[in-house]
Structure 1
Amino acid sequence: MVAIYYVFQTPEGEFRVEMSNSRRKGDDYQRDLAMCRGVYRRAVEHYPQLQTGGPFFYDSQNSLWSLSQLNTEKLSFTIYEGVTNLSNFIKADFVLYPIEVAKELSTNDIENTATLAPADADKRLHQAIATILADGPKANPDVITVNGTTHYSVRPVMGAQEAIWFPNGDRSSLLGVTRAVKTMEGFEKQGVFMSNDMRISLFHTGRSHMTLADYFRTFQGFHYHLDRNDVVARNMLKALKNFRVLLSYGKHARDGNDAKTIPIRGFGRKPMDQEFTLPDGTLTNVYEYFRNRYNVELELTELWTIESTVQSGGVGYYPPELLRVIPNQKVSCQQMTPQEQSAVIRRSAAKPHERIQTTDNVAAAVGLVPRDLSGFLQITEPLVVSGIVLKDPIVQNCEGFYNAMRQEKWGIVFLPYQTVRNAENVLFEEMHRSGMAFDEPRIMYLEPDNQFQGEFQIHRLFQEAKDNGIKFLLFIIPSSIDYQTEVKVCEQYYDILTQYVKKETALKMRHQRDTRANIIQKMNMKLGGLNFKVVNDYLDKENLLIMGYSLSKTPELGDSEVTTVGYASNFMDHPQKFAGSYKFVERTDETFSTIIHETLRHSLQKARRARNMRAEKVVIYFNGISEGQLAMVNEVYAPQCIETFQSLRKDYAPELIILAASKTHNERLYLDSRGVHNLPIGTIVDTTIVSPVFNEFYHVGAKAIQGTAKPVKYTVVYSNRPVKMEWVEGLTNTLCHEHQIIKSPISIPVPLYIAAECAKRGCAILEHRQRLAVGTRNFLTTVAEMNRNYGYDETHCGRTRYNA
């Protein structure tokens, strides 16, 4: 075991911190790893015992792995320079403790790496192999490692396409490879396997020693007198939200690349206008503070300041000219423009044979191929496994919709001079063909004077609609003006169903039947209809309630302790009608536990009222549960479900099956038949590459429009009765055909899809409403208030599939 301590000088005296047991996250954690690696390299230079034998593999924290016995007593070494630029650094202590026999590992330990309680599994063998595999990338200066498991090559990769470069903000794409080490069932006995997959991501290029003010100049339209509320500035903030920069003034200037870092949270006022209160109660501004405290005369007095959180929880303000860029930061999805996202997605969509070759080339380029370790690690050809292809369920086609609804008291909304000629008549024809009855719509106009007043005008339009008894609004708006979030916020607030169609799409309606059909299919689903019936033995012949839960993946709320959980079930008047909603909950390790009882109970009750169905079997899909949290399903979530059943009636005990779905795995499956191809829809693989302790299977639910299809992995975590995997696999396959908006299958079961969309909707509404309420009495602080004010529970819309 390795222990590395850094000692710093503080006003209170010497402060000693163990860097080899870091609990920090993100960039701060990566910096701690780098500081540990620097000390370890110096220790290797100092001790002959670490220069021979081995080979040795250091994980940059407290583990040093060796493939041979290290015959030495405790080693200790103190370093006084050369490992950090921090000005208050005194020394670093390195300690290597003798290996204990109990910590020796062999292939006999493989069976201990997989248990029904993953958090209790002995992961040391996985950690050792992962450390060995990462040794090459860590030693390569041309590699950027993200989250410890994904390695990007700074240099071009042989045979790969050229990088994508976006001059606005100086962003460039890099090719990478992500690795995972896990225990699988294997052919004859379980074993430890590594899987790789290609990654393409954008990075903020920047340059070392470039100030943030200079970096701003890479954005088109920027100048030093630009107002922070200008559209260019707002787009820049979106591109740089949570971007980290180095402090480069006062003592921080002497710390160089080891200086303190801060994240960009917002743009403040100009230095002379941005006032704040000092600890002694004195009111000052940024310009005066830096002149008096650091003897710095700011030059860019017309440029906004940078807002960031400080340790006390408040907001600090910093001049961009005194902040330095940290190069090669990964661009998050929230920082990308739609054009950048589309470009990355297109470039990532490599065809199967291209993906295999590129993945191998990137792995070699970053050094993710261990040195000669014969007798310990074996690099093999990809595994060849068998699978089956399930038949597509029969979709019952009718002259029109299976259950067509009536569209009454509705309106169509345009911008002035942006109407689509004859749009209502085209819609009428398709509605009539589909069997929908309808009233004449009220034609309404949204008349914003400019982009800033758009939201006010939207509220005024919704109030007018409500005053006139309108229940449904169809918006047809040019894509150059994005009011979708504001419209959905108003939908929840005014309890009026909405549908948002881009004008460019509406213009295609007359000539493209699929386009107008999709619009009407979505409309019918929002109104509570059913477009077609999927003939199957699962939903037709069994009293079956199916639920899906999904976490929001959109971190728009920054460091908020509130997250959004979406849920959906078939509680409506037909077993194939699914709808859902969302709940705001406090972020914990047991995020789902706070809503399971309420949402499951209500779904069971609603299904009983809607179609007189007393569920004899309940199947629940979760998305967002990691492998380490699987035990929580057995220990927390399943008992909550059983308590919910008993709360309805003491002897009520339906069959319960709980599955965890995941697309975050590394496994890519290909059809090897006269070349490498995508797997056909309905493919199931449930042997060899699955867990040795859980019932598990991979399923291809949808056809890849471009690139390589990625199967979804399903783990049956809990069942209170013996479970037939063929039944679970068949149900999952059927549910992928229940989307209803289109007849093509989707990649995940429809209750999970709806739950995920609901979670996104809830997160967007929460972020939007809270952002507007900052500093006012309307700002909400508890999840109970948020659910009451920002949710759909007590609305008419909440009884429909409003987010279809």
Structure 2
Amino acid sequence: MANVNDVAGRLEAVNLNNENLGHVPLAAKKQSLPAGRTPVQIATNFRKLTVEKNKPIFKYSVEINFYYKKADGTEHSKEKSNSVAKGPEHERNKDCCSLVYRKAAQKSPELQKGGPFYYDRQKCLYSLTRLKNDTLTVTVTGQDISANPSFLRAEMKLTKVAESFQTTSNDVAKSINVCPAEADKTILEALSLIVSGTPLDDPNVLTLGNCVHYLYEYDPATIDIPVVGGEGLKVSAIGTSKSIKTLEGKDKTPTLYMATELKTTLFHPDNEELIKVLKAYRGFNENMKPNSTWSISVKNCVVGLSCYLNYGRFKDLGNERVMIKIKGFGLSASEQKFDQNGRLVTVLQYFKDKYGITLQYPKLFTILARGRDEQTQNIPVECLVLCPSQPVRTEQMSKDEQAKLIKLASAWPKDRQQRTNAVVATVGLGKDRQGFVKVSEPETVTGYVLDKPNIKFGGNQVYGPIIKTVIERCLREKRKNNGGLLLNNIIVYFSGVTEGQYALVNEVYSKQVKDACTAFDPANRPHLTLIAASKLHNTRLYKKDQRGVSNLEPGTIVDETIVNPVISEWYGSSAVARQGTNKAAKYAIVFNTDKATTLDKYQKLTNDLCYDHQIVYHPVSYPAPLYVAGSYSNRGAQLLAQRRDIDVNGEFDFEATNAALGVLDKKLFSTRYNA
């Protein structure tokens, strides 16, 4: 859906800081009833992880400080292991920590004897053996750690964390709980780092965060994915994401699985001069003004990029050079003036006087960046070099580049499965880890194909269950249209809800629905079912038969093995894939008071609703009410962006803005206008 990320973000912001959430049980798991349904074999992208039993995993906090000598002879330190930066600066801090850790491991006898160790390049280290002492400090020096002339030493301190944060390989069952806040995820965090050990050690693999691994180079004979490029020397890269989950398993006991999903994206060129990047855009000339049509277009492609300063006293320090972020384009170096000790000088003259640099492009716009004291500074384009490992964001891509990337990612099931497995093997995620973790081949599970619904068209009533106010409106309309009969069941679907937000739906939103029902009619107490629906996951499912793999048939569901072991969860594939591989939606019954209704009834209702779009006559990937709600929500966001919101006393007034721009109490409320 067009605005799923926005919806998820808004959900994340609501009441998630309430530490009391998550201690109320979610809806009890309902038994799957496969009798009478057509079974089908389904290949997945889940690999079972088998860990050695009775193996303790020790967790240590890491603190890495770099010490420098100040001009007055005193020392000052900077911690690199607690980075709050983002993008290239954060990756640089992680690289610094990795260098220190590797050299410390070579120097320390205790680190040489123990292990194996798994370090996340920031604050956390896991070990399969306990260090002799609970605290260990190692000091390293040398230009291989830092080429900065004022650098003195780096110090790494390991401290064993509290026992409550330690774990063992037997704690898998503790990582899942019907009360979300009471699940102990330590084993999952440890294993996520442990299985990433090979990619983190491979210089041919770029790891963003700790869960997405991209290949710098690969063999086209092994991985059949073409390389595509874009303007500004952009080039595509392939990789895989990874997540560790506790699922139901074949034998219905909590089982560890690793999900891997193919990733394709464009990257900006590494360590390339910015002037060469701009020259690679069609239409460039050396006299380009900041407000020209070309500049306005290209600015969108480079704003937000991080660059090194290629001048000044740190210009020869490699990745320790001063880093800035592009904010926009300014006047040329020959035009832009600023006050220097009481006199106006141009950027052109300043660089000549201070650095001895004669600019080659004095009439080209300059780059705006944030300087000291938060002041904007103008930097000549030729004095900047792009920092490495910068993915191209969507807003930095042209429509043609987006189309190329979509085409690259839209592989048919057979190709996608083959490419995913090849990338996982090349990156190293499919390898066993020191005998402690065994990684199996992708799991095959049994799914079922539901019958297609019988659809009767007629009427123009459209109901959308929305919290509180609109639910009351829908209840009134429903009561009016069914002759005043009391309601027995209310089912509410929530779109874009992640597992971390289940407690919010279960404890906060369920109460709002109850309050709406009570306010409407205190005597009417219908059963309530709240279902979380999402496509924000990295699960891929393929129909498997003697001919290989293909897209799932519409109506295919999977509700065993790779689902949550303590709540009712299933994957449903309803849409027909016109190109590429379809992605099943994931559904979870988070709140439920109707103990009599079986799981298959909810599965059939959900699948039937996917056929009720009415504008198109083939099934869509989501239940139609959610699909339509997503379209309306996207329209509302665009409308709000074009029209001013209403503020009262300087604060956003939700009710007044909604009354002015929304459709409630207006003729559009009962009109389908999003076709």
The TM-score, its normalising length taken from structure 1, stands at: 0.68
Alpha-carbon distance between aligned partners in 2 of 1:619 and 1:310, rounded to the nearest angstrom: 54
What is aligned with 2:565? 692
Secondary structure class of the residue paired with 2:629:
helix
Change (3 A) 1:270 1:685: same
Change (3 A) 1:289 1:121: farther
What is aligned with 1:570? none
Are the counterparts in 2 of residues 110 and 191 from structure 1 also a CA contact under 8 Å? Answer: yes
1:94 aligns with 2:156: yes
Secondary structure class of the residue paired with 1:54:
coil
For 2:115, the aligned partner's letter is G
What is aligned with 1:33? 94
Corresponding residue to 1:737 among 611, 619, 624 = 611
- Larger CA deviation: 221-230 vs 793-802: 793-802
For 2:452, the aligned partner's letter is D
What is aligned with 1:217? 279
Are the counterparts in 2 of residues 352 and 708 from structure 1 also a CA contact under 8 Å? Answer: yes
Are the counterparts in 2 of residues 86 and 258 from structure 1 also a CA contact under 8 Å? Answer: yes
Shift of 1:11: 8.8
Alpha-carbon distance between aligned partners in 2 of 1:307 and 1:757, rounded to the nearest angstrom: 37
Alpha-carbon distance between aligned partners in 2 of 1:99 and 1:579, rounded to the nearest angstrom: 49
Q: Which runs of 5+ in 1 are unaligned?
A: 404-529, 531-573, 581-594
What is aligned with 2:115? 54
Are the counterparts in 2 of residues 142 and 153 from structure 1 also a CA contact under 8 Å? Answer: yes
Alpha-carbon distance between aligned partners in 2 of 1:298 and 1:707, rounded to the nearest angstrom: 50
Cα distance per residue 1:350-385 (max 9 Å; x no partner): 2222222211211121122335533x3222232222
Are the counterparts in 2 of residues 132 and 370 from structure 1 also a CA contact under 8 Å? Answer: no
Alpha-carbon distance between aligned partners in 2 of 1:608 and 1:287, rounded to the nearest angstrom: 75
Change (3 A) 1:78 1:70: closer
Corresponding residue to 2:415 among 349, 354, 369 = 354
Secondary structure class of the residue paired with 1:163:
coil
What is aligned with 1:301? 362
1:801 aligns with 2:669: no
For 1:800, the aligned partner's letter is T
Secondary structure class of the residue paired with 2:560:
coil
Change (3 A) 1:718 1:314: farther
Cα distance per residue 1:93-145 (max 9 Å; x no partner): 11123577665533321111112343542221111111111111111111122
Secondary structure class of the residue paired with 2:232:
coil
Alpha-carbon distance between aligned partners in 1 of 2:84 and 2:552, rounded to the nearest angstrom: 42
For 1:743, the aligned partner's letter is Y
Cα distance per residue 1:162-181 (max 9 Å; x no partner): 53332522122212111110
What is aligned with 2:531? 659
Secondary structure class of the residue paired with 1:32:
helix
1:755 aligns with 2:629: yes
Change (3 A) 1:344 1:783: farther
Secondary structure class of the residue paired with 2:616:
coil
1:322 aligns with 2:194: no
Corresponding residue to 2:173 among 102, 105, 111 = 111
Are the counterparts in 2 of residues 116 and 631 from structure 1 also a CA contact under 8 Å? Answer: no
Alpha-carbon distance between aligned partners in 2 of 1:111 and 1:203, rounded to the nearest angstrom: 40
Secondary structure class of the residue paired with 1:714:
strand
Secondary structure class of the residue paired with 1:42:
helix
What is aligned with 2:241? 178
Secondary structure class of the residue paired with 2:533:
strand
What is aligned with 1:143? 205
Shift of 1:682: 0.5
Q: How does 1:251-266 map to 2 (within 5 A)?
A: 251-253=313-315, 255-266=317-328
Secondary structure class of the residue paired with 2:126:
strand
Alpha-carbon distance between aligned partners in 2 of 1:764 and 1:288, rounded to the nearest angstrom: 46
Are the counterparts in 2 of residues 136 and 369 from structure 1 also a CA contact under 8 Å? Answer: no
Alpha-carbon distance between aligned partners in 1 of 2:320 and 2:300, rounded to the nearest angstrom: 27
Corresponding residue to 2:550 among 677, 694, 699 = 677
Secondary structure class of the residue paired with 1:373:
coil
For 1:378, the aligned partner's letter is K
Corresponding residue to 2:218 among 156, 165, 186 = 156
Change (3 A) 1:667 1:306: same
What is aligned with 1:481? none
- Once the two structures are aligned, what percentage of the paired residues are identical? 32
Alpha-carbon distance between aligned partners in 1 of 2:339 and 2:643, rounded to the nearest angstrom: 28
Secondary structure class of the residue paired with 1:224:
coil
Change (3 A) 1:284 1:628: farther
Shift of 1:635: 3.0
Are the counterparts in 2 of residues 49 and 72 from structure 1 also a CA contact under 8 Å? Answer: no
Cα distance per residue 1:1-54 (max 9 Å; x no partner): 142232455799755444333344443333332222111101111013322442
Change (3 A) 1:37 1:741: same
What is aligned with 1:619? 491
Secondary structure class of the residue paired with 2:332:
coil
Alpha-carbon distance between aligned partners in 1 of 2:625 and 2:353, rounded to the nearest angstrom: 60
For 1:256, the aligned partner's letter is G
Are the counterparts in 1 of residues 88 and 390 from structure 2 also a CA contact under 8 Å? Answer: no
Are the counterparts in 2 of residues 163 and 172 from structure 1 also a CA contact under 8 Å? Answer: no
Are the counterparts in 1 of residues 120 and 210 from structure 2 also a CA contact under 8 Å? Answer: no
Alpha-carbon distance between aligned partners in 2 of 1:69 and 1:266, rounded to the nearest angstrom: 51
Shift of 1:272: 5.2
What is aligned with 2:47? none
Corresponding residue to 1:226 among 268, 288, 293 = 288
Secondary structure class of the residue paired with 1:378:
strand
For 2:530, the aligned partner's letter is I
What is aligned with 1:382? 442
Alpha-carbon distance between aligned partners in 1 of 2:614 and 2:487, rounded to the nearest angstrom: 23
Change (3 A) 1:7 1:282: farther
Say which structure, 1 or 2, has more relative contact order (CA 8 Å, 6+ apart).
2
Secondary structure class of the residue paired with 1:704:
coil
Alpha-carbon distance between aligned partners in 2 of 1:272 and 1:801, rounded to the nearest angstrom: 58
Corresponding residue to 1:6 among 65, 68, 78 = 65
For 1:194, the aligned partner's letter is M
Q: How does 1:487-506 map to 2 (within 5 A)?
A: none
